[in-house]
Structure 1
Amino acid sequence: MSEFRKWLPPMNALTAFEAAVRHGGFSRAGEDIGLTQSAVSRQIAQLEDILGVPLFDRIGRRVRLNEAGRSYSDELLPALDAIRQATGRASGRRPQRTLRIATLPSFGMRWLAPRLPQLSARHPDLVVDFAARSQPFDFGHEDFDAAVHFGVPQDWPGVTMDFLFREEAVPVCSPEWLAVHPLRTPADLLDAPLLSQTSRRDAWARWLNAAGVDARTLAAGPAYEHFLMLAQACAAGAGLALIPTFLIRPELEAGTLVIPFARPLSTDQAYYLVYPSDGPGAGPLMQFRDWMVEQARL
């Protein structure tokens, strides 16, 4: 077998893995791609056998993506999406009522995905494909109709940006960690393990300064690319993190994360729906745009 084929797993296994990552489990992944839960499990087991490492931790009847699985998905999923885009461009056609939307990963999972049934109920013939993107891109070179962006309008020149909403990030940690490391004042955080999101490494310094604490001696801590990875690390007792409240409502309600100081960090940055400057027109993109703006106002 050639080296090329040796390191190219079967597409069925890759598709099952991608769906399991996207849905957070084998059962819903199977519903998405038309397989039974056991068939998805077999496909992923085949992939794990090829790689020589487990990609999911099996906890009773549940599965959870582990560190090796996260690292693999971070590299694999953009590659699969690139294949889809290349195939779409090569075919030269796309269904008229289909949109492709790029979204920030954590935003897509926690804010957008739970609302999609409402979009389907309003526009049952509208098909929306989503892919994860964390940075601005050139719409002329990417097969996307729109994107969700967090920042300021100056971040992404030459496009139209519709304001969605601002966020408030709060310090969180696990209740077990807080019981062992009681915090009395914000200054106590200078000696605590502070975790960051990779694109917001200065967030803790800004939060401490706003709380009246000199953060010039603040040591850099571990950073995670996605907020939900950050939330999992906090829930496991790795330390504290600043995370937008709308992304961690389930953890706050379940008590797996707690807020030691009710001091939210606010900035001039916000979430925007971004699309080419020639406008959404009167078709599917306008319908999606109107729905997104309406949802953001609720």
Structure 2
Amino acid sequence: MNSLRAFEAAARHSSFAKAASELNVSHSVVSQHVKKLELWFGTELFMRLGNRVELSGDGRALLPQVASGLQTLRDGCNSLLRKTQSGTLVVSAEPALASLWLRKRATEFCKLFPRIEIDLRPAWTPDRLGDENADMLIHFETRMPSSGVERQGLFPIDGYPACTPKFRDKLLSDDLRIDWDSVPLVHDNGREIWHKWYAAYQPESSGWQQGRVYSDLSLAIDAAVDGEGIVLADDILCQREIESGALVRLDPQAVRCVWYQIALPKGGLKAPVSETLKQWLLDQALPHRNN
């Protein structure tokens, strides 16, 4: 079963490395699982092309059946889990993620699993795991505990300059160019991310030192929507503002801001329902990890 899961993930990503990241194992483990399948079937399932892999003819024939079978198993297990699993999960999450992405999905999860309750606790510093503390952490990878936990990537945040349409029209000069030395910026939790963007795309400018700093991304987004300046927005946490047109992309160039991770206690200390929530959230975040 593990070999089939590894094959399906590698086929979907066209990459052993991305499959390994999704399954939370090493690249070599995925490669070994695929080799076992190839020996068992007596045929190559992938063509190795440097760092990339492509399905062979036999691999393409096998994939739909394996994907369908795995989905049937997941659906069957989830159907039973919805009836049997119960309890309260304490989830400690970074405040902006908790407000802008996780809250809505926690509500959806509880509708699917009505016997499970989620106690969502926003926190700038991740809570301790286990005992009477949090059952799950969802936070910046840089703030996660370094030991005693099992961590898995949720999704990355790639920020690009965005502002209101009215503010954009005021900024653009006659030649449709922006003066990045003097534009008013909106920062969240320090100036580091704007500094990273300027270092990548405007290295000669010190414009990143300007603008007001807010303690939380939610406040920074609200400030940008109110016309205070340009914020580094993204397509996940700022989805509502971008899709509604309240904020528009001012520049196509983006910078990696952060990775969010999920962490559970290592070993047998985790609550059984934690694994169910973790896998459900990873499935919800899968399109963002594949972009």
The TM-score bracket by the shorter chain reads 0.5 to 0.7
- Mapped to 2, the partners of 1:126 and 1:150 lie a distance apart of 25
Residue 94 of structure 2 is aligned to residue 104 of structure 1: yes
The residue identity in structure 1 corresponding to 2:183 is A
For the residue of structure 1 that corresponds to 2:120, the secondary structure is strand
User: 2:183 aligned to 179, 192, 203, which one?
Assistant: 192
User: Which structure would you say has the larger Rg?
Assistant: 2
The residue identity in structure 1 corresponding to 2:198 is L
Partner of 1:127: 117
Q: Is the 8 A contact 2:186 2:229 kept in 1?
A: yes
- Mapped to 2, the partners of 1:228 and 1:167 lie a distance apart of 14
Partner of 2:252: 262
Give the RMSD, CA atoms, in angstroms: 2.5
Residue 280 of structure 2 is aligned to residue 294 of structure 1: no
Task: Give the deviation of 1:257 after TM superposition.
Answer: 1.0
- Mapped to 1, the partners of 2:184 and 2:206 lie a distance apart of 16
Q: Is the 8 A contact 1:173 1:237 kept in 2?
A: yes
Partner of 2:267: 278
Larger deviation, residues 273-282 vs 219-228: 273-282
Unaligned regions of 5+ residues in structure 2, if any? 1-85
Task: Give the deviation of 1:261 after TM superposition.
Answer: 0.5
Alignment deviations for residues 102-128 of structure 1 (CA, whole Å, 9 cap, x no partner): 112221222122223431243221111
Larger deviation, residues 251-260 vs 207-216: 207-216
Q: Is the 8 A contact 1:205 1:215 kept in 2?
A: no
Residue 124 of structure 2 is aligned to residue 171 of structure 1: no
Map 1:150-161 to 2 at 5 A: 150-152=140-142, 155-158=144-147, 159-161=149-151
Task: Give the deviation of 1:216 after TM superposition.
Answer: 4.2
TM-score (norm 2): 0.62
Partner of 1:33: none
- Mapped to 2, the partners of 1:163 and 1:193 lie a distance apart of 33
Q: Is the 8 A contact 2:93 2:126 kept in 1?
A: no
Map 1:11-30 to 2 at 5 A: none
Partner of 2:5: none
TM-score (norm 1): 0.60
Residue 171 of structure 2 is aligned to residue 181 of structure 1: yes
User: 1:233 aligned to 217, 223, 227, which one?
Assistant: 223
Q: 1:238 to 1:216 in 2, by over 3 A?
A: closer
Larger deviation, residues 175-184 vs 246-255: 175-184
Task: Give the deviation of 1:282 after TM superposition.
Answer: 6.6
